[in-house]
Structure 1
Amino acid sequence: MTDRADALLSAFATVLRRHRLAAGMTQEELAHKAGVSPRYVSLLETRKYQPTLATVDGIALALGMPLAAFVTAIEAERAASAASAPGT
């Protein structure tokens, strides 16, 4: 995996967990609403799997967010992490 892809996956996992917790949802509740398994949500939050665009859309909808807003949050997290990384 490239550094950019790794950073993007890390940002996705962070944003997913942050928004799930802010919505007051368990992994099980989010999984049910997004049409995936709780194990899959866990694997996404721990960077073990890379989601498809359809999965990202389902998760965003389950969190009550438009896809564009969710992707914007992911990109903002990636940029913030890059800015705070040593040597930047």
Structure 2
Amino acid sequence: MANIKSSKKRILVAQTRTERNKAVRSAVKTSIKKVETAVEAKDKAAAQSALTAAISTIEKAGSKGVYHKNNVSRKVARLSKAVNSIA
């Protein structure tokens, strides 16, 4: 453990941010899985509503700095393409 007060604080802050980032990433993964299962089931309506929720979650993660903006854009594009592929 560090002896300097600022180092101790940095350790605590890093742990807090790591936990928050893990929670946000987990939420994003869950929302993506919901969209993918709806697409596999060929349920257009469920896929559309899940996509809306997923985009919101992903965009929030990007604005918090958990994901890079290009990563956010790629995830949204892939999900949108998958949903649009349902006949």
What is the TM-score when the length of structure 1 is the normalising length? 0.36
Of structures 1 and 2, the one with the larger relative CO (CA 8 A, separation 6+) is 1
From the CA coordinates, give the structure whose radius of gyration is larger: 2
